[in-house]
Homo-oligomer: A and B are copies of this chain.
Amino acid sequence: MLQHGRQALESQPFSKLVGAMLTRFDTEGTELRVPIVDALKQQHGFVHGGVLSYVADNALTFAGGAALGTGVVTSEYKINYVRPAIGQEIVARAAAVHGGKSQAVCRCEVFVVSEGKETLCAIAQGTIARLPAAPSVE
């Protein structure tokens, strides 16, 4: 299942641009990691909020996909930034809180890792929707 998720992530050009890695992907939860490089920062040297949003969004999507067991898309989410992210790596962990027939509601915590210590920098909550089955081509 992790292998399948990694292929999905690998097939997203933007995820490759950001440098995201999928380090956990099962029905209990999802973990994405992003090594912090200068290109991901804003003007004060912190990781740009857009990167934290990207990783939260993607972790929520994977968590919803794991819960629904199918192709999914993020419908909506909300994120609160709680601390500037300064360190060597971003880690986002997400899990479904509720999975229904057509959508899952998921939560995510985003940490920054600095010298081996994790510090919370954002939390998110959102809705992941099952993609409609592809229409038959024949």
The number of times this chain is found in the oligomer is 4
A12 CA to B45 CA, complexed, in Å = 9
Contact across chains for A78 and B81 when beta carbons are under 8 A apart: no
Task: Give the contacts of A1-59 with B (CB-CB under 8 A).
Answer: 8, 11-18, 38-43, 48-51, 53-55, 57-58
Taking A14-B48, A49-B57 as contacts, is the C-beta distance between A78 and B75 under 8 angstroms?
A: no
Q: Is A82 an interface residue (CB 8 A)?
A: yes
Contact across chains for B75 and A77 when beta carbons are under 8 A apart: no
Binding site for B on A (CB under 8 A): 8, 11-18, 38-43, 48-51, 53-55, 57-58, 61, 73-83, 97-98, 100, 102-103, 105, 107, 109, 120, 123-127
